[in-house]
Amino acid sequence: MTARDDFASWPAATASGHVCAVAGQSQRHMREWAAEYPDLFSAKPFDAALYSTLSLAMAFSGPWFTAEQLRMANKVCLWAFGLDWLVDYVATSPSEVDDIARRCLDVAAGAPPVPGDDLTRLLADIRDELAASPAFGVLGPVWRDELQRMLKGMVEEWRWKSTKVMPTFEEYLGNADNLGFSFAFAAHWLSTTGPDLTADLGQVREASWAVQRVIRLLNDLGSYERDVKWGDLNALLLDTSRAEVERRIAELAGRSRELIAPLRSAGPELAGYLERQMDFCAGFYRVADYWGTL
Q: What is the mean pLDDT of residues 153-181?
A: 96
Residues 6 or more apart from 242 whose CB is under 8 A from it? 221, 236
Integer Cα distance of 276 and 282 in angstroms: 10
Give per-residue pLDDT as tens, 178-214.
999 999 999 999 999 876 666 789 999 999 999 999 9
pLDDT at 14 over 70: yes
How does residue 1 score in pLDDT terms, banded at 50, 70 and 90? very low
Predicted TM-score (pTM) of the model is 0.95
